[in-house]
Amino acid sequence: MTMKLSDGERQAALDSLPAWQRVDGRDAIARDLRFADFNAAFGFMSRVALQAEKMDHHPEWTNVYNRVRIVLTTHDAGGLSTRDLELARFIDSLLPPA
Amino acid sequence: MTMKLSDGERQAALDSLPAWQRVDGRDAIARDLRFADFNAAFGFMSRVALQAEKMDHHPEWTNVYNRVRIVLTTHDAGGLSTRDLELARFIDSLLPPA
């Protein structure tokens, strides 16, 4: 079973992922992205989907044309876990530096 | 320019798409779907994405593991248009009868 992060671990993780924000009222992080068009947005989502499936850890996400909002949390753990940080780092690796 | 549906057209369209619901406070329709798992959900989304790109008409959608919520409206027209009905019918064609 994946364990929820402690408060100290959570803060260190957030400090290392500056493009991600805390989600109000949930132990979760989010990143809002804007691409050139739908092709680019869905292409990005496909890359994340393949990785998510491989990790068996999936995002909550919304897409409207060229925009994608991704929320990461670990339902089994009841909050943020190391699996969210791993997926967040993978996502960041696909994108140009902020 | 795609024209918004008239009230009569909208009602006839909704009668012909029984799996879709009106969205509160918006001239839009929505369908909530549940698949066996993420593989099935994202596979479905990929089929819709290819068709949406071909039509140059894209859904607003959210995915959480095996669930997908799709909202259709035509931003250019300020509400539901025939393009939404076309995409809704394509989506329904991918799914078993309700």
Give the closest-approach CA distance of B47 to chain A in angstroms.
11
User: How far is residue A84's CA from residue B25's CA, in Å, rounded to a whole number?
Assistant: 34
Give a yes or no: residue B1 inside a domain. Answer: no
Write down the pLDDT at residue B97. Answer: 78
Q: Is B58 in contact with A65 (Cβ distance < 8 A)?
A: yes
ipTM for the assembly: 0.94
Domain containing B48 — which CATH number?
3.30.1360.20
Residue B23 near chain A (CB below 8 Å)? no
Is B49's pLDDT higher than 90? Answer: yes
Write down the pLDDT at residue B3. Answer: 87
Give a yes or no: residue A1 inside a domain. Answer: no
Give a yes or no: residue B67 inside a domain. Answer: yes
Q: Is A49 in contact with B42 (Cβ distance < 8 A)?
A: yes
Is A2's pLDDT higher than 90? Answer: no
Helices A38-55 and A82-94, axial angle in degrees (round to 10): 150
Is B45's pLDDT higher than 90? Answer: yes
Give a yes or no: residue B2 inside a domain. Answer: no
Residue type, B60: E
Give a yes or no: residue A83 inside a domain. Answer: yes
Is A98's pLDDT higher than 70? Answer: no
Give a yes or no: residue A2 inside a domain. Answer: no
Give a yes or no: residue B17 inside a domain. Answer: yes
Domain boundaries, position A83 = 7-94
| B-chain residue closest to A62, CA distance | B62
Look up the pTM and report it.
Answer: 0.94
Q: Is B39 in contact with A52 (Cβ distance < 8 A)?
A: no
Write down the pLDDT at residue B16. Answer: 94
Q: How does pLDDT run across A35-85, given as a tens digit for each residue?
A: 999 999 999 999 999 999 999 999 999 999 999 999 999 998 999 999 999
Is B98's pLDDT higher than 80? Answer: no
| Strand segments (E) across A1-98 | 21-22, 29-34, 60-64, 67-72
What strands, in cross-sheet order, belong to the sheet with A60-64?
Answer: A21-22, A29-34, A67-72, A60-64, B60-64, B67-72, B29-34, B21-22
Residue A40 near chain B (CB below 8 Å)? no
B2 CB-near residues (< 8 Å, 6+ apart): B74, B76, B77, B81, B82, B83
Helix (H, G, I), strand (E, B) or coil at B1: coil
Give the closest-approach CA distance of A6 to chain B in angstroms.
25
For the segment B49-59, the average pLDDT, to the nearest whole number, is: 98
Give the closest-approach CA distance of A86 to chain B in angstroms.
17
Is B1's pLDDT higher than 80? Answer: no
Mean pLDDT for all residues in chain B: 95
Sign of CA dihedral A50, A51, A54, A58: negative
B42 CB-near residues (< 8 Å, 6+ apart): A49, A53, B63
Give a yes or no: residue B48 inside a domain. Answer: yes
User: How far is residue A49's CA from residue A57's CA, in Å, rounded to a whole number?
Assistant: 10
Domain count, chain B: 1
Element (H, E) at B21: strand B21-22
Write down the pLDDT at residue B56. Answer: 97
Q: Which residues of chain B are within 8 Å of residue A46 when distances are taken between CB atoms?
A: 46
Q: How does pLDDT run across B25-36, given as a tens digit for each residue?
A: 999 999 999 999
Which pair of structure tokens corresponds to residue A76?
Answer: 């089994």
B37 CB-near residues (< 8 Å, 6+ apart): B65, B66
Is A1's pLDDT higher than 80? Answer: no
Q: Between vectors from CA B45 to CA B6 and to CA A38, what angle results, nearest 5°? A: 75
Is B57's pLDDT higher than 90? Answer: yes
